[in-house]
Chains A and B, each alone.
Chain A
């Protein structure tokens, strides 16, 4: 086992996934960016490994490269997966900025005078922003409209929300305030 090669393999997986991600994002309008992102980060490494195995067996020059066991590939895949998982949470911030990040950028632009609460309210979320969010949840299948017009959670919505509620209960915390 060679941890240095495991680290190199993990970073190669991650960098190649990112290059594919950038190339696709810059050249296409995606209907389902999240699904595409998951496919890239989950599928690319195994394809790469199969490709290397194929080349090692069919292309004599590659036989001099180090060969890895399944455990070593799995170790590289675990580090790649952990980095990819972290990236999934940062991606929305790159897309449109989280409110906290937007707030810090806006505050920095107004230093050293600072901002009042009213000035920040004007800048941050307004009631109008809730419409698209609710629509997004409807389109994604997390909620649906019942016959009387009230919104209710779908099965997918319930499956999605339950772990979050359980985590807060385990920690003894009251529900988050958004």
Chain B
């Protein structure tokens, strides 16, 4: 097997390495009753995985190349491994945060009618759980009964995604218009919110 094929093989099995690290750290944290954000732990495991994978790539493949080959080879391995890690993180995140995954699990566990599923779903809990997760990863902080944005990285991700959505031709959501408004325009925000809810049903309501 030539060295490039060997390098590819290592990268292809890297999700197994991340999973092994994740299982060990997650179970250890539970064993010692350490409250750790599940998302933060997944991220740490992905970043930690750079070390063993980098060492393997270096000793088995990269050290036999010339300087330029080592440099670009390292860039390729780092980019590919972390892109794979990014996919792993989102897959894990789906098990943690996806409402559709939760719905499927609950329907599998206990067959319910549509109305029972809707009644069981408590939006208060959902918002609370999401806020707690955002606090765990340092995006949101609570002071008294109010919540504040502590770190802006998710906000910037949101801005980039919104700009990308516009590039793809998704119309700017009414939600976004409300973001331009400040708290003292509360009535207007509620009206826009109402419009956002009503617009998807416009054909059935005879509205255009």
Contacts from A to B (Cβ < 8 Å) = 1-4, 6-7, 21-22, 25-26, 69, 71-72, 74-75, 78-79, 82-83, 85-86, 89-90, 93-117, 120-128, 130-134, 136-137, 142-143, 146, 149-153, 157-158, 160-161, 164-165, 167-168, 170-173, 175-178
Distance A171 CA – B41 CA, assembled complex (angstroms): 11
Are the CB atoms of A173 and B38 closer together than 8 Å? yes
Q: Does any Cβ of A come within 8 Å of B191's Cβ? A: no
Q: What does the 1/0 interface line of B69-100 toward A look like (CB < 8 Å)?
A: 10011011001100110110011111111111
- Residues of B within 8 A of A (CB-CB), count: 98
Which residue of the partner chain, among B26, B83, B126, contacts A79 with CB atoms under 8 Å? B83
In whole angstroms, how far apart are the Cα atoms of A1 and B1 in the complex?
13
The chain A residue sitting closest to B197, CB to CB, is: A128
B40 touches A (CB below 8 Å): no
Q: A95-B170, A107-B140, A109-B180 are in contact. Are A160 and B161 (CB under 8 A)?
A: no
B126 touches A124 (CB 8 A): yes
| Cβ contact within 8 Å between A94 and B170 | yes
Shortest CB-to-CB span from A9 to chain B, Å, is: 11
Given A171-B26, A172-B26, A110 contacting B76 (CB threshold 8 A):
no
Quick check: is B199 within 8 A (CB to CB) of the other chain? no
In contact, A134 and B102 (Cβ under 8 angstroms): no
Contact status A115-B147, CB under 8 Å: yes
B59 at the interface (CB under 8 A from A): no
A101: nearest residue on chain B (CB-CB)?
A: B158
Check if A94 sits within 8 Å of B193, measured CB to CB.
no
Distance (whole angstroms) from the CB of A152 to the closest CB of chain B: 5
**Is B123 interfacial (CB-CB < 8 Å)?**
yes
Q: Is the CB of A171 within 8 A of B154?
A: no
- In chain A, what residue has the closest Cβ to B87? A85
Q: How far is the CA of A150 from the CA of B108 in the complex (A)?
A: 11
Contacts A/B (CB < 8 Å), 29 sampled: A3-B72, A6-B72, A71-B5, A78-B8, A79-B79, A83-B83, A85-B84, A89-B90, A89-B93, A96-B170, A101-B154, A101-B157, A104-B140, A108-B155, A109-B180, A116-B146, A116-B147, A124-B126, A124-B127, A125-B127, A126-B197, A142-B104, A150-B111, A152-B107, A161-B104, A161-B105, A165-B105, A167-B91, A171-B23
Are B72 and A151 touching (Cβ within 8 A)? no
Cβ B123 vs Cβ A117 within 8 A: no
Question: B200: CB under 8 A from chain A?
Answer: yes
Residue in B73, B128, B179 whose beta carbon sits within 8 Å of that of A105 in the complex: B179
Q: Using known A-B contacts A115-B147, A131-B118, determine if residue A7 contacts B83 with beta carbons closer than 8 Å.
A: no
Contact A161 B108 (CB under 8 A): yes
Q: Are A79 and B121 in contact (CB under 8 A)?
A: no
- In Å, the complex CA distance between A4 and B75 comes to 9
* Chain B 124-162 near chain A by CB (<8 Å), digits 1 or 0: 111111110110000110010111110010110111011
B102 partner, pick from A85, A105, A123, A177, beta carbons under 8 A: A177
